[in-house]
Structure 1
């Protein structure tokens, strides 16, 4: 009986020890990363690139790329969706690929948005987040929970048929007392949300090429209908038609007809 009870006790102790070790290992793994939550408007897709540099004080360099292996980078992707969507990425704060201790330096976004049915009717812009070492002073800087990125369509005409083309512009919205770079140590095991929004109003890509009327924007004629620049130069009476991304011939944007 004694030996059986003793053996049972050993098994239970080992099980408890393994459970404690597993929980500790899981906790350590969580502290080595953070969750990046990205909210996207309808029609958007993103590619993310986390870039790493040698930890402060290290004399090693980021190992060179070998085939598809990028020791200093990690890639993320969220495909285009016609509905609003939310992406969750687990981003490591440290890496030791190639034997060099690395830390997260930046997370870059490639943002794509579709504005028409054609395959190439896509606007693209780039934005990102910077990270830095913990401040040397004793004051603790609390990282923001949410970052805002405001996007807007800028329209123009291109080619001899004056086809409408759009350019996507995404800019960071600076919050009061928000740091330019986030201290990576303060993000361990936490979540950071990046919200992309799309402005309702579209604006001309280049100044003095369109004039706004109550019914919409009209494209200035310029020197002639073939003038690729078509600056207004004070002429507010002569305009030229253009072709919308869906193929319609129009005279006012975005309503098409006056």
Structure 2
């Protein structure tokens, strides 16, 4: 089978969303090790192969999305074609845009999300290029932290997810979790995103909660109508708040002092 025909077969497989027998050398696996109640959604983007002068409209080159219905059908492993063809134009994988979702309650809106990514190039400086072990696996790392705040007149707790990369020295980065590879590294290999959850949660932003033994207390502000309720130097008047499960509490996260 020629390379061109292989690419056409790959393109047809994606378009039909059906199972096809693809040689291992034409795909790689993306997977993730995540904390409990975490999932990821992956959108895979393709660009014309090196040396090609053809172009494809975005409408004809839509990104395949893995785990789009993450609530109903989540699979940690995604088998990603390296090549595909659209409108007769040979394409290669260029990047994976990742959205990390985590749930913290039973309501449909009780989730937070943040993003991560994988970039793929023909050439790359070695200091940025990911490496693979003897088993053909490569990892990149990150940490997510819950940031809590209150909304509404009852001051219900909602949480925001804040994810950052971890560098080779184990230091937390200012940027999102990310991996980087060159195209020739990928055939038959596995790329793994490993995310850990920070032990401590933090307020969504400053001067709204006060750290006390056992947790955090919510500043009263001007009253329950005051949605932002900054402390503004008043660190003695606090309000109750509602946990996602409906409990009325005075200290987060333990609820009662």
Give the TM bin, normalised by the shorter chain.
0.7 to 0.9
Q: Does 1:51 pair with 2:45?
A: yes
Residue 229 (structure 2) aligns with: 230
Separation of aligned partners in 2, 1:36 and 1:205: 31
User: Which residue among 148, 152, 157 is the counterpart of 2:150?
Assistant: 157
TM-aligned CA deviation for residue 72 of structure 1: 4.2
- Measured against aligned partners, the alpha-carbon deviations of 1:50-71 in whole angstroms (never above 9, x if no partner) come to 1111123322112442xxxx53
Cα pair distance change 1:135/1:211, threshold 3 Å: closer
> TM-score normalised to the size of structure 1?
0.77
Residue 11 (structure 1) aligns with: none
Q: Does 1:114 pair with 2:107?
A: no
Cα pair distance change 1:214/1:134, threshold 3 Å: same
Separation of aligned partners in 2, 1:211 and 1:79: 36
Separation of aligned partners in 1, 2:125 and 2:168: 23
Q: Does 1:76 pair with 2:66?
A: yes
Moved over 6 A (4+): none
Are the equivalent residues in 2 in contact too, given 1:38–1:193 (CA < 8 A)? yes
Separation of aligned partners in 2, 1:180 and 1:38: 12
Separation of aligned partners in 1, 2:128 and 2:99: 31
Separation of aligned partners in 2, 1:74 and 1:174: 29
Residue 26 (structure 2) aligns with: 32
Are the equivalent residues in 2 in contact too, given 1:43–1:80 (CA < 8 A)? no
> TM-score normalised to the size of structure 2?
0.78
Separation of aligned partners in 1, 2:169 and 2:92: 27
TM-aligned CA deviation for residue 256 of structure 1: 0.5
User: Which residue among 119, 123, 132 is the counterpart of 1:134?
Assistant: 123
Are the equivalent residues in 2 in contact too, given 1:34–1:189 (CA < 8 A)? yes
SS for the counterpart of 1:151 is: strand
TM-aligned CA deviation for residue 86 of structure 1: 7.2
Unaligned residue ranges in structure 1 (runs of 5+) = 1-27
SS for the counterpart of 2:229 is: coil
Separation of aligned partners in 2, 1:172 and 1:95: 30
Q: Does 1:103 pair with 2:92?
A: yes
Larger radius of gyration: 1
Separation of aligned partners in 1, 2:164 and 2:91: 28
Are the equivalent residues in 1 in contact too, given 2:220–2:239 (CA < 8 A)? yes
User: Which residue among 156, 168, 174 is the counterpart of 2:161?
Assistant: 168
Q: Which has the higher helix share?
A: 1
Separation of aligned partners in 2, 1:140 and 1:154: 30
Cα pair distance change 1:48/1:234, threshold 3 Å: same
Cα pair distance change 1:197/1:60, threshold 3 Å: same
Cα pair distance change 1:141/1:223, threshold 3 Å: closer
Greater shift in the superposed pair: 104-113 or 53-62: 53-62
Paired residues in the alignment total: 224
Separation of aligned partners in 2, 1:195 and 1:228: 36
TM-aligned CA deviation for residue 149 of structure 1: 2.2
Unaligned residue ranges in structure 2 (runs of 5+) = 1-21, 133-137, 171-177
